């Protein structure tokens, strides 16, 4: 069903920031494809948005599964013929939580966190890039974190100086490197690639102590997904402000 409507694909979209991002984009007239590890979760989330008037579609996607990634790409190509927006929202925290464990971080912990937060993002993007190239103005948003900022982690006066979780932080720093490199690779195309820091948000990962509500946590992703031709590219953004790498 090719049309002129923008189509957005959002990973980890069955709850939290991902679901709210889909909701806000849908309210702006974007067709949203909600991906979740369980098809039933994606279907439930899509049904909620459809009931609110959003053009929403569910897709099963475990981002670490090559089979799921290929199937999702085939579904988008068959159903829409192109993709305008990719939001790599799915991510995991360290099993240690946000505790200062560095040298004792196990290989297994690093591999597990990097598998979802970096390698799967690269794989999903690689699978969907041919469809993004069919869009007149493709947008890729990588959900990072201020905890991925090496500049701020090294500054004793920064607000995150004492909030260190090596596996998670390093995975987001590496994700930021992917953003920079992909933006450079695509600089002569209409596609823009940016990292988004949603903020410290009241989600399952963020916890109840977080100062931001979920609707505000989705705003940066939505803004970057709908950037005009003069918008930033290869940048690290929170609420319209650039963050240091």
DSSP state of 95: T
In terms of Cα–Cα distance, which of 192, 204, 206 is closest to 237? 192
In terms of Cα–Cα distance, which of 207, 241, 213, 242 is closest to 20? 213
161 flagged as catalytic: no
Query: Which residues contact residue 4 at a Cβ distance below 8 angstroms, ignoring those fewer than 6 apart?
Result: none
Q: Alpha-carbon torsion 111, 129, 199, 161, what sign?
A: positive
**Choosing from 60, 172, 192, 219, which is the catalytic residue?**
172
**Choosing from 60, 168, 192, 219, which is the catalytic residue?**
168
CA dihedral 140, 141, 147, 150 (to 10 degrees): 30
164 flagged as catalytic: no
Which residues are catalytically annotated?
Answer: 168, 172
């Amino acid at each position: 069903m090719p049309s002129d409507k923008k189509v957005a694909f959002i990973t980890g979209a069955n709850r939290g920031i991902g679901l709210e991002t889909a909701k806000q984009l849908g309210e702006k007239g974007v067709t949203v494809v909600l991906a979740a590890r369980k098809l039933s979760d994606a279907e439930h989330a899509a049904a909620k948005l459809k009931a609110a008037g959003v053009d929403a579609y569910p897709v099963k996607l475990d981002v670490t599964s090559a089979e799921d990634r290929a199937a999702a790409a085939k579904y988008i190509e068959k159903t829409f013929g192109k993709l305008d927006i990719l939001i790599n929202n799915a991510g995991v925290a360290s099993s240690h939580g946000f505790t200062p464990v560095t040298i004792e971080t196990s290989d297994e912990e690093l591999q597990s966190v990097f598998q979802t937060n970096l390698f799967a993002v690269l794989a999903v993007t690689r699978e969907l890039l041919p469809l993004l190239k069919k869009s007149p103005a493709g947008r890729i948003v990588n959900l990072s974190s201020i905890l991925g900022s090496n500049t701020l982690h090294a500054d004793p006066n920064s607000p995150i100086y004492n909030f260190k979780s090596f596996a998670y932080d390093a995975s987001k720093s590496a994700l930021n490197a992917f953003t920079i490199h992909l933006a450079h690779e695509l600089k002569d195309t209409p596609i823009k690639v940016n990292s988004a820091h949603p903020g410290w948000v009241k989600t399952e990962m963020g916890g109840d102590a977080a100062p931001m509500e979920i609707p505000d946590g989705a705003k940066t992703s939505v803004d970057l997904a709908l950037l005009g031709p003069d918008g930033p590219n290869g940048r690290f953004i929170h609420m319209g402000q650039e963050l240091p790498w």
